[in-house]
Amino acid sequence: RNMCSFYSRYTKSKLPGVLFDWPDGACVGVCPGTGEVVEPDGTTPHLLVACQIQGTVIRDSRLEMVTRIVPRVLTLRGYHRMLGPRDAPGYPGYGGDVTGTQMKVVA
């Protein structure tokens, strides 16, 4: 559910977050690394990541801060763009080609 519509039902509420302009659900399908809309096709590898968004406001001399976690779809190109060039010193990413590989989740 859209956080703006959730909080709009409580306009006189003291709920933290009522005054913030939250992104809508469309932001989930926008890659945070490239800013492009992602259209999952079932064959292209994507990463589902969690992004933290924060809002801060001063109301009646009180500082109110709200943090929310929003899921985002990250493309491999966006992932590499966020990390920088692969040949840069201290590159934190995987150095090989990840196309066609499968990830193994270890708990």
Q: Tokens in use for 102?
A: 């499968």
- SS3 call for 54: strand
Per-residue pLDDT of the chain (107 residues; tens, 9 = 90+): 455 555 555 555 555 566 666 667 777 888 988 999 998 888 888 988 988 888 777 778 888 777 888 888 999 889 888 877 767 666 665 555 555 545 444 43
